[in-house]
Structure formats: structure tokens, C-alpha cells
Chain A
Amino acid sequence: MIKTKEELLDIRKSAEEELASYDCRILVCSGTGCIATGSNKIHEIFQELTAGLDGIKLEFAPHDKHEHDKVGVKKTGCQGFCELGPLVRIQKGDQVVQYVKVQPEDCREIFEQTVLGDTVIQRLLYSKGDTHYTSPDEIPFIAKQTRIVLENCGKVDAESLDEYLAAGGFRALTKAMFDMTRDEVIDEVDKSGLRGRGGGGFPCGRKWKQVARQKETERFVVCNGDEGDPGAFMDGSVMEGDPFKLIEGMMIAGYAVKAEHGYIYVRAEYPNSVTRLRGAIAQLEEKGLLGDNILGTDFNFHLHINRGAGAFVCGEGSALTASIEGNRGMPRVKPPRTVEKGLWEKPTVLNNVETYANVPKIILDGADWFRSIGTAGSPGCKTFSLTGAIENTGLIEVPMGSTLREIIFDIGGGLKDGAEFKAVQIGGPSGGCLTEKHLDEPLDFDSVKKFNAIVGSGGMVVMDKNTCMVEVARFFMSFTQRESCGKCVPCREGTKRMLDILEKIVNGNGEMEDLDKLEELATMIQSMALCGLGKSAPLPVLSTLSTFRDEYIEHIVDKKCRAKTCTALRKYVINPELCKGCSKCAKNCPVNAISGKVKEPFTIDSTKCIKCGACKDNCAFGAIYVEA
């Protein structure tokens, strides 16, 4: 049990000594991505290899001086480079070697060459062109990021309180509790200009102030970890990669607004996050850092975890608190706002994972430091998950105000297979598409709004020329329609009608007046839906309509899909020069649309063709293609 500030300092000191005593740490990435590619097995093998190793002579680069020979195998949070997993870092002294795509059969070699010896295995390094990168900090993908929220991710053991303490953990909490008044804490957060990272961008400090001002003294701190946007995994990565940092942020909020209970609402699809958070809470409770009379003061804080049950709408504040209370997760009419009547009708601070994870560093280094990063209106950094048709998919953090070009080309390495950039979908199903002409615009909460998009929680899906924007709009609409909670008519019925129209268009039955109907419905839903999710549901359609209107018109007038994605608009054709007349396609055609004489080129009757593609899949000569 840690009962006083001094005891905490002692424990941190011994944790620091313990950390310094490792001459070599094998850091195995244990984010959801790397676990999927098999990193748990890698961790296990390294543990077996290093068992009983203490005292064995390790070789170091000549200039390194070492007194101990201790090897540690650790599970870290996301190292960022998800597609190249499993990722392993070997840290010896000040030197770090980053290995990618490590397979079980590579482990012994790594152990002998790099852990015991001083040789770097070229084959397992990240390479681009002819350049091999040894240290993670040299890799452009990592070198060009600025990491605040993710500073510990990939560097410390995500499951160990000691490592978090050694990395400076809970210094912010003790500073807040012992050197600052509650008002000073709130003022510092307010001055920092930290805005809600869940997508809304509401000033965090103002929210805390409003809660602190309420007459009701029973208050709650709630964390929104219901990261439902498809294509977004930043919050999940923080929860599983640095759970203690999130908890510290929530505790500072709890201290500042005098709340005794906190709730973390985690979505059902993140079992790793739930496990890590539960583990972290158990360690903190055991040490007395969560519970009553924390560090001998009158500050009590208890933390609970609620798992989501598969409803996207629970990412909306009032739906989320309804779900914690055990009700259907449906938004309610506001005001009163969550700060006045939130969880159990009590004043509630509700922020998302990334917002809380920013707080400790702001308390520690001050509002001015935070304001020195990012833009005037949106200080600090933002995490993004970079996915889709991009070379380096993964988790990144960059200062607000970075341009799309920096994110997609400098960090992301450009498009996959050198394809041509078409658009990036930002902000998930409530967001919009940015295109070539937006590449050099600085991204922050305010600037992106001007382009009919939102920063949202930070999902970024890059699309190349093979993506049909009408189909993308249909995809998002089918998502929001399915996830509409059904409480208000504009969202429940409006999204259904919009989806009907979009399906009609991708099936080749669209009419020009459908575009006007889409816009009319979109404006109606935007202005009349009950909650933020409903209000923003039409954004993907409006945004693609304004930027890619010609593609909509092609689908409607020319019955053409230039990306060849929309099945109903495909036209299968046989190339007479390649066709050998084997008749296999005709035999496979379920509707007898193909005819011809054996040993002469066959033809497809497009009026009969149902576009199933069976002919193309079965042609041994590659003679059948889709005409754009």
C-alpha cells in the first residue's frame, strides 16, 4: 500500500532503479494489430530464451559501459507500424533496434545475434528502397510524428505500474493534489486550450469548470472509450497501450471537480482494452492509488469499467450515460447538458480517451508548453489512424495544423503500389472527403469544417482511383442507417430514404432528380435530428456530392462506374484476340448469356448478363474483362 506522497516517491525511485538495471529490454508490441499477427507467441519464445539468463555476458557496442547483465522481455502498446507486425524492439543501453515482421523462427537468431551479441540482422529491419533503418526514430513514419498521448506507447510495458511510474507516471497527479488547488488545475487545463478529441472539439477546461460550478455535490467522471467509427483505432490503442495514463488523466479530473466515481465505457469489440484496463485498475487498487484517502488525503476515487454491447449510438454522450445506467442507449433532448445532468442526473465530466490522456502532460509541463504545439485555435497534437490504400498503415500522432500532404505522403509513405491519390475520408461516418485540392491545407478542428468534413475522432481512410465515391457514400449511409437508434423520425426515416436512393443509383436505376432529393433530405436531417450522430449522418453524402458530383452523374446518366466497383454497372466483355473458344465461360454462365462456336471467339449478351463474374473467374486465358 502506498499511503503518502513520500512512499510513492520511494516506489518510483525503486522502479526507476529496476528499469535502469536492465541492460537489454526486448520490447514486443502487444497492440491488437500485432497480437493478430502472432506477437503473443513471439513474447512467449523470448521469455523462454531469456529464462535464467541473469549474469550472462552481453556484448555491447564498444563505447557503451554496463555494469549489469539483465535482460527483460516486455509487452508494449502499439509501436505504430501495424502492417509490418509483429514488431519487436531490442533496447540495449541507449541504442534501440526496430525489427519488423518477426516470425517465431527468427527469435533465436535475434536472441543470439542482437541480444547476446552486438550484430544487427539486416533482413528484419525496416527498409525503403535501398535504405535499411536500424533505430525506430530514424524511420520517416515515426521520425515525423510528435508524440504526447502516445509517448509511452511502444516504449514501456503496458501492463506494469512500475514501468509507468519509472516513466514519470503519476507525477502530474501528485503535482495536482499537493501543489495546486482544484481551481488551479481546472484553470491550467482551460488555459491550455485542450479541445475534446472525440470529435466535437468542445473546450475541455470549460466543461470541467461548468461541472465544478454545480450546486449538486455528487459528481461523476466518465470516459468515452466507445470508439465506434469504422476505420478508427486510436482510443483502443491508448487504452491497451498506456492504460495508466488514461486513468491518471481521469483521476486528475476527478480531483479537480470533486468526483468520487469514474466510469470507462469501452466498446465490446476491444477485449484487449478491457483486459489491460482491468489489470491496471487492480494494480492501482492494490497499491491504494485508487480507492479511499488516496495518498493520505481526503481524495477518494473509484473506477469502474462498462463494456458496450454493440450500439454505435452509445458514442453519443447522453446515450452513453443511459447505457451505463442499464437502459437502452438512446440520446435525449438537450439541454440540460451532461455537465448539469449527466450520469444518474448528476453533474458529469464526459471526455474521450485521448482527451484524458492529454491531461497529465498539461499539468506537468503547463498550458504554455501545450499551446506551443499545434495551432492557436486547436493546440496540441492529434492521433490519427491511417488506413486504406496507403503504404504505411498505422497509428500516428501529429501536431494540429499539419497538412494532409505531410500525413499521407511524408508519414504515410504515399499510396499503396504508387497508385494515384483520389480522396481521404476523414471523421468516419459523420465526416467527409478531402481531395487533392485540400492536400496543403492545415488540419485542425475549425479549418476542416470549412470543407464539409470534420476531424472527428481521427479515422483517416485513404482512397485511390479504384474506389467508387458513390459506393463509399452508400456504404456510410448503410452504416448510419443500421445504427440509427430510431428515437427521432428525421434520422430513423430520413437515413432509410437516403440509403434507398443511393442503392438505386449504384444499381443503375438512378434519375437526375434523385440528387436534388438527396440534398433536400440531407439538409432536413442535419437541421432536425435529435443528436449529433443523426445531424452528421448526411455529411458523407453531401461531401461526395459536392466534390464528386460528376461520378454521381455518370452512374445515373451513362450507367457507368469508373472505378468498376458497382456490380450492377459492370459490363463484362470477351477480348476476341485472347479468346480460344474453349466454351468454358458459356458452361459456367448461370443464365446462358454467352454463346459462340467452339474454337472461335465467344460473345456475351449484356441484356441477359447478371454480372456475376463466373465467366471471368473461370477463364483460363484472361480473355474476359470489365469495361469501365
Chain B
Amino acid sequence: MLDKSYYDKTDEIIEHYGRKASSLIPIMQDIQAEYRYLPGELLTYVAKEIGITETKAYSVATFYENFSFEAKGKYVIKVCDGTACHVRKSTPVLEALWKELGLSKKKHTTDDMLFTVETVSCLGACGLAPTMMVNEDVYPAMTPEKALAVIEELRGKG
């Protein structure tokens, strides 16, 4: 059972977008931005509040790649594997991060909940390929070494 504060925050978000079916996606986006994942209990609650079925809410949430029912790390690292980054060797960057953090294609988040590593298909900074994004900041012209230096820096911040 989630703390009451979660429901209060959710009420606030629902109020902001309005109790209608078309508000579902923006509401889920804001909940996820707040908690770094989409708690299932809240999704059920939102469905009831905006007047759609629970199945509908889950069908939409599972369709879009950005929604996650599992908690993500404090730092979500998105390694770009778009065409331009791929051609300029983004795969070694991803592999170096996986190795350093003990992650893989199947395991995305470190046990200490500090890092999540995902791939993304384009960050729109192709001129600086290969790139990666940590939360909302884009890091240009990555190499495996530079990526590991970023990890060190973030670990320092905690």
C-alpha cells in the first residue's frame, strides 16, 4: 500500500489536466517524472478518477516505451543508438557502461538504485554523435572512457 502522499500528489496532477480520458498520457508522464516509475496502484486510481477502465489504462501504459512499472535509478542514462550514433560507434559506449555497472540487455538498473541504463533511438544531437543523455542533459561525443568518467562524477554526487 502506498503512502497517502502519493495519492495527494496524483490528485494534484489529475486536477491539472482535468478528469477526462485524453488526460491519461500526460497524467502518467507527470507521475513517472515525480517517482521515476509508474506505481501500479496509482494507475488503477487514475483510471477510476478519469473514468476509464483499468484494462484501458494498462493497455496504454504498456504500449509506450517510456512508461515503466519498475522503479528506475536516480540517474537514467539513455545511450543513443540512432543511425548517426551507431555509425560513429555507440555500441562500445553502451558495453562499457554495462560492464562498469554490472548491467546487461536484461538488467537495466543497479541494485543500489543509482543508475538505469537504456538505449534510445535519437536524441536530436546527431551532429555530436555518439551521444548519451543523463536524466535531461545531453552529453556529446562520447567514448567508453568519457562515459566512465561521467559515471565516476555522478557517483561522487551520490
Binding site for B on A (CB under 8 A): 32-33, 35-37, 81-83, 85, 227-233, 236-237, 268-271, 306-307, 309-312, 323-330, 385-389, 393-395, 425, 428, 459, 461, 463, 467, 472, 475-476, 479, 483, 485
Q: Enumerate chain B residues within 8 angstroms of A329, measured Cβ to Cβ.
A: 63-64
Are B124 and A475 neighbours in the complex by a CB distance under 8 Å? no
Are B23 and A269 neighbours in the complex by a CB distance under 8 Å? no
Contact partner, A231, options B24, B25, B59, B83, Cβ 8 Å: B83
Q: Enumerate chain A residues within 8 angstroms of B140, measured Cβ to Cβ.
A: 33, 36-37, 85
Minimum CB–CB distance for B143 against chain A, Å = 14
Are A311 and B64 neighbours in the complex by a CB distance under 8 Å? yes
Closest to A540 in B: B83
Q: How would you classify the secondary structure of chain B's contact residues: helix, strand, loop or mixed?
A: mixed
Are A269 and B122 neighbours in the complex by a CB distance under 8 Å? yes
A425 to B87, CA, bound (A): 11
Which of B65, B82, B85: most chain A Cβ within 10 A? B82
Given contacts A229-B122, A387-B83, 6 further A-B contacts (CB under 8 A): A83-B127, A230-B81, A323-B25, A328-B63, A389-B88, A459-B126
Are B125 and A36 neighbours in the complex by a CB distance under 8 Å? yes
Minimum CB–CB distance for B76 against chain A, Å = 12
Contact partner, B60, options A231, A327, A467, Cβ 8 Å: A327
Are A324 and B83 neighbours in the complex by a CB distance under 8 Å? no
Q: Is B22 an interface residue (CB 8 A)?
A: yes
Binding site for A on B (CB under 8 A): 20-26, 28-29, 52, 59-60, 63-67, 78, 81-88, 120-129, 131, 133, 136-140
**With known contacts A329-B63, A387-B126, A32–B138 Cβ distance under 8 A:** yes
Minimum CB–CB distance for B96 against chain A, Å = 12
Closest to B119 in A: A482
Closest to B57 in A: A326
Are B87 and A461 neighbours in the complex by a CB distance under 8 Å? yes
The 5 closest A-B pairs by CB, nearest first: A82-B127, A230-B82, A309-B64, A310-B65, A387-B84
7 A-B residue pairs with CB within 8 Å: A33-B125, A36-B139, A82-B125, A310-B64, A311-B65, A312-B121, A385-B126
Q: Enumerate chain B residues within 8 angstroms of A425, measured Cβ to Cβ.
A: 83
Are A307 and B29 neighbours in the complex by a CB distance under 8 Å? yes
A269 to B85, CA, bound (A): 15
Are B122 and A233 neighbours in the complex by a CB distance under 8 Å? yes
Q: Enumerate chain A residues within 8 angstroms of B81, measured Cβ to Cβ.
A: 230
Q: Enumerate chain A residues within 8 angstroms of B82, measured Cβ to Cβ.
A: 230-231
Minimum CB–CB distance for B22 against chain A, Å = 4
Minimum CB–CB distance for B23 against chain A, Å = 7
Q: Enumerate chain B residues within 8 angstroms of A389, measured Cβ to Cβ.
A: 87-88
Contact partner, A36, options B63, B86, B128, Cβ 8 Å: B128
Closest to B78 in A: A269
Q: Enumerate chain A residues within 8 angstroms of B23, measured Cβ to Cβ.
A: 326
